[in-house]
Structure 1
């Protein structure tokens, strides 16, 4: 197949865009100066994220298809966490010229397939040469006339609930760091998250007061709701799902591990959707407490002090 250097910038773009089917929200896709995406709500939900080789993924641990699925999933989950429907991704792809064309095409297959799960499309982007592989992904979404679900609506008396896997990706990363080859389910969770995208509609339809994507660790991300809402969140660690497959550090992984892209929300009592698990309550005060104490540390921070 040759390298992307052999293909050249425009040859690579042509090969990649042929792999990207366009959904009905894309009125003009790749090939012009910019894409045109429908915005029937007259508002656009937008988010962006970076994946850098060596920090967010390693090519000796993850194949290009999984990296593509992961890059799309973490951005699509942010759109869903606003109570919106994902419509499109714009992808900036930087890579060394000696990267195989087949590797790049498989990466874009992963991006396209993850978008297909939620009915979105990769509508455009850019490619550039670089010393390491980097993906810069911008996701767009539509609110359908509804108000966004933000982090600032939690109120004392609400309950806290979660939807999706917690700690699986962190446990998988720990196994890879240790040179272990299983359990396969945990390794797969690190390589390719599986956000429960239905959570956004479920949260909205059941009156959620706040919602977010758990990307940096449950306790740390609940702290964002607490700060934005001006409340205290009390977590019951025994209620946080931590199955045996997570190993002896399972509870720690579930409380502090990121990149599973589960969802956490607050609801008025008695309104929690059936697929969600209640793990705590909202009270007067500030910050997050776990079993009445200061929470464990270990959540992700790109710039630790």
Structure 2
């Protein structure tokens, strides 16, 4: 049995699986001294410090096979991690991939996954340097990526640095991934393939993270769980109020309204998840590639001194992506 379309993981050895996957992942990079194939990777850390983050995706929870190909899953899980590195002002250098799968799973799906991982890593300027394979219960597929990166000698930009009078700015899109998910859910995907692709294969503005750090961003975060939810994390960490402007967000809402309707468009922009754009606060006008969507306020000067998010002065909480939301 040698046809990848019918081969299952159980039909070949782990070494044979890796022999099929490694060529789809290999890429020369001076940061990587030893890549896949030995007990560990060996990498350069130019200034002796590095960033590290991890995310996992589980079939049936984070993706559905009727919507997503293996390559889509590869692209998305790389986007999740590289956006987190960018949100610290960093550049991703290496990725570790762990896969746990039902042995009856088709080999072709994992070759497709590896192709997506390799393409997304290359687009981010990073390399898949190793990982692990494991069997799992029937029907289970889990893909986890751990990313390493560098701030290139700069201090990382944290969530807790927002200051009153800062402008709040966004790099990248808002609501497009959420709209793509709504279209997939409601059966309208064929008419809006660009929005569906934004959900299946997010494209974070990775270059803007380091540029924001160089420009003096006070705080920054990856918009993975929705604008309101993630802006709230900055607000609570910084003990401030992040006041978003609905008029500044109006172009994003109007761009999505023809596809999902006005009300759903506003929901997607404010609380749609898996966008992986960046939000940051700056003392002055943000650098090119960023647009102002609000302002940071001192809660002590407001009627309600509770740190958090407001939209045109009205408190707003919740929404967005929650991994443990039973009603999702």
Task: Tell me whether the two structures share a fold, i.e. TM-score over 0.5.
Answer: yes
Secondary structure of the 2:25 match is coil
Corresponding residue for 1:259?
274
CA drift of 1:105 comes to 0.9
CA drift of 1:296 comes to 5.7
In structure 1, distance between residues paired with 2:9 and 2:95:
22
Deviation above 3 Å: which 4+ runs of structure 1? none
Secondary structure of the 1:51 match is strand
- Equivalences for 1:111-260 in 2 at 5 Å? 111-131=117-137, 132-180=140-188, 181-240=190-249, 241-246=252-257, 247-248=260-261, 249-260=264-275
Corresponding residue for 2:24?
19
- Equivalences for 1:276-287 in 2 at 5 Å? 276-285=290-299, 286-287=307-308
CA drift of 1:155 comes to 0.5
In structure 1, distance between residues paired with 2:71 and 2:211:
29
Corresponding residue for 1:291?
312
**Gaps spanning 5+ residues in structure 1: where?**
none
Secondary structure of the 1:103 match is helix
In structure 2, distance between residues paired with 1:193 and 1:77:
10
CA drift of 1:209 comes to 0.6
In structure 2, distance between residues paired with 1:36 and 1:162:
35
Q: 1:167-208: per-residue Cα shift (whole Å, max 9, x none)?
A: 111111111111223311111111110111111122122211
In structure 2, distance between residues paired with 1:229 and 1:120:
31
Pick aligned residue for 1:300 from 315, 321, 328:
321
In structure 1, distance between residues paired with 2:120 and 2:179:
23
More helix by share: 2
CA drift of 1:143 comes to 1.4
Corresponding residue for 2:102?
96
Q: 1:32-77: per-residue Cα shift (whole Å, max 9, x none)?
A: 1111111112111000011011111111101111111111111011
- Give the superposed CA RMSD: 1.4
CA drift of 1:298 comes to 2.1
TM-score w.r.t. length of structure 2: 0.89
Q: Paired residues, what number?
A: 304
Moved more, 73-82 or 182-191: 182-191
**Gaps spanning 5+ residues in structure 2: where?**
300-306
